Amino acid sequence: MKKDFYLTRYALIIKRLERSPATYPEIESYLLGSFEFQDANITGYSIRTLQRDIRDIANLFNFDIHNKKKGDNRYYIESRPVMEVDEYNQRLLESFQIMNAVNAQPDFAEFIHLENRTPRGIQNFYDLLFAIRNKKILEFRYFKYKDQTTTSRKVRPLALKESKDRWYLIAKDTKDEKLKAFGLDRISDLTVTKAGFRQEQTINLKEHFKNAFGIMNLEEEPEKIVIRSTKEQAEYLKSSPLHHSQKIEKETDSSVYFAYDLYPTYDFIQEILSFGNQVKVMEPQMLIGKVKEMLKKSVQQYDDPSAE
């Protein structure tokens, strides 16, 4: 059994048992019949390997897999993680499957085309996770895009958050005790200090970002936002919602109306503008005004030949 193939096995075992309980021979038949095993030229799968895989799955993905009791030797998933962890695990599994497909068969790279971009700031990922878990003060230099300055920061790290293919450190700034987001690609000279800290009160970051779009951590009350989408664009929005609060208000022969419960951040307005004439904001009036103003400025810069 190839050592670099284990993550693919985990994903296939989970996929099979999510469908229904199965005996070892049924699991073995499913795995050996999969395209993944066939492409890797794997012709055997022992019960000892299955038992080891089940233990590893429990540790890595928080899935408990057991045998049925007395006279029924089928394996089944006894417990599943909560929704948030389950979503994380699903994304983790998908990433592992892609990674293993490419690594197991190098010629697959000819058919899989990933974004040509260089991740920045990821080199500090482990150090940041260590500091968060062990509650260690962080010191670093931080570059601000707005005024093109670099300043020294000292923070109490709380979490890492992803937004639009970028990673951010969520931390309490010791200077003003405010909760802030720092782009990992703009952090330099990172030091995990020996000084620890105690969290005086529990911060529910999931609740904090519940009504925000993107990374902006705002305290404002959310608003009801309604957009009208063309039928074609609506299919993309249905398959990949802009926000977890998205719901369909109504449908007509030519349009679909989507409603959201969030604060209209700058990131959200940029997202709406990216749809062009496929999407129109219907409410609130304040947001309509902001979108119109930004569109007007965009047109003006093309009309003004002297604009640099």
Beta strands 136-144 and 75-79, pairing class: unpaired
Beta bridge partners of 191: 139
Residue 22 has pLDDT above 50, yes or no: yes
Helix (H, G, I), strand (E, B) or coil at 219: coil
pLDDT at 217: 54
Q: What are phi and psi of 249, to 5 degrees?
A: -85, -45
218 Cβ contact list (under 8 Å, min separation 6): 211, 212, 263, 265
CA dist 277 and 221 (Å) reads: 29
Residue 273 has pLDDT above 90, yes or no: yes
Beta strands 179-183 and 187-196, pairing class: unpaired
Q: How confident is the model at residue 14 (pLDDT cuts 50, 70, 90)?
A: confident
**Hey, how many other C-beta atoms are within 10 angstroms of the C-beta on 122?**
12
pLDDT at 215: 75
pLDDT at 213: 81
The residue type of 248 is I
pLDDT at 11: 80
* Distinct helix (H) and strand (E) counts, the chain: 10, 11
Q: Which of 115-119, 174-178, 202-206, 218-222 has the lowest mean pLDDT?
A: 115-119
The residue count of the chain comes to: 308
Residue 85 has pLDDT above 60, yes or no: no
User: What is the maximum span of the chain, computed from C-alpha positions, in angstroms?
Assistant: 83
Four-point Cα dihedral 296, 236, 110, 30, nearest 10:
160
Report the Cα–Cα distance between both ends of the chain, in Å, rounded.
61
Q: Which of 118-132, 154-168, 257-271 has the lowest mean pLDDT?
A: 118-132
Residue 299 has pLDDT above 70, yes or no: yes
**CA dist 224 → 236, 237, 266, 295 (Å):** 21, 17, 16, 22
The residue-averaged pLDDT of 155-183 equals 88
Q: For tokens 């948030």, name the residue.
A: 84
Taking alpha carbons only, the member of 254, 240, 246 closest to residue 226 is: 246
Taking alpha carbons only, the member of 173, 113, 186 closest to residue 143 is: 186
Structure tokens belonging to residue 136: 């260690």
pLDDT at 101: 61
Residue 82 has pLDDT above 60, yes or no: no
Average per-residue pLDDT in the chain? 83
Domains present along the chain, CATH in parentheses: 3-110 (1.10.10), 122-205 (2.30.30), 223-303 (3.30.70)
| Contact present, 53 and 13 (Cβ < 8 Å) | yes
Structure tokens belonging to residue 276: 């062009």
281/112: higher pLDDT: 281
The residue-averaged pLDDT of 52-66 equals 79
CA dist 210 and 230 (Å) reads: 27
71/203: higher pLDDT: 203
Per-range mean pLDDT, top range of 14-23, 45-54, 193-202, 216-225: 45-54
